[in-house]
Amino acid sequence: MVIIIIVSCILLLFLLPIPLKITIYKNKAYFHIKVFNLVLLSPEKGILNDLLKKPNEKKSSNKNINTKVNKHNLFSKKNKKLSLISLYRSITNNKFRPWFKLKGELDFAFNDAAYTAIGYGLLCNLNPILFAVFNQIFSVKKFKLQINPHFNEDKILNFTISSIIYFNLAHAIRILYLIYNSFENIEEVSPV
C-alpha cells in the first residue's frame, strides 16, 4: 500500500503543474522582488540582502587542497559550447511548454506632457512584441499589461509585474534535455 502511495505521488509530481509566482514592484523609493511570498530583494529585508551583507566567514586557511577533476566526465564541457541558435530553435519548436500568466501595471510621467504622450504611444506598441516573445518560450494563457500615463505630474516610474509560471517536473526535465542537446562540439583548428 505504501508503494502505491509513493508511486501515485511521483506521478502527480510529473503530471500536475506547480505554479511559480514572481512579483516585481518598483516605485521612486522602493523596489522588491518576491517569489511566492518569500521576499528575495527589498531595501529592508530579503534573502539576497542577507547573503550580500554577510562577510565571508568561511575562509579556508588551507590552500593546498588538491581538487582533481575527472577528465572522462559525461557532462564535461571542455570541448563543447552552448549554441544559442540551436537552443532557441529547439525551445520554439517545443510543443511541450510551461504555461505563463502575466499581469502588469506601469504608471509613468515625464516633465512634459508631450513626451509623456510619445512615451505612451511607444509603450502601447510594446505590448504585442512582449506577447510574441513570451509566446515563443511559454504557452501564454493570460497576458495583461496596463499602461497608465500621468500627464500633469513630475517624473514618476512605478511598475508592478505579477507573473505565474506553471510547470511540472516533466517540463523541467524536457527543458534541461533541450539545453543539454544544444551544446555543440568545438573543432580545434591547427595553426598553419
Question: Taking every pair of C-alpha atoms in the chain, what is the biggest distance, in angstroms?
Answer: 71
Task: Name the residue ranges covered by the structural domains of the chain.
Answer: 17-46+102-168
Q: Which tens digit of pLDDT belongs to each residue from 79-119?
A: 677 778 888 888 888 888 888 898 989 888 888 889 999 99
Write down the pTM of the prediction. Answer: 0.63
Cβ neighbours around 102 below 10 Å, total: 20
Confidence of residue 71 (pLDDT cuts 50, 70, 90): very low
Mean pLDDT of 68-87: 64
For residue 121, what pLDDT is reported? Answer: 92
For residue 88, what pLDDT is reported? Answer: 84
CA distance 178 to 171: 11
* Phi-psi label, residue 36: left if phi above 0, alpha if psi -120 to 50, beta otherwise: left
Q: Which tens digit of pLDDT belongs to each residue from 23-41?
A: 888 777 777 788 877 777 7
What percent of the chain shows pLDDT beyond 70?
77
Pairing label, strands 80-82, 183-185:
antiparallel
Average pLDDT, the chain: 78
pLDDT at 137 over 80: yes
> Exposure of 138 by Cβ count < 10 A (0-12 exposed, 13-18 middle, 19+ buried)?
buried
CA distance 96 to 172: 10
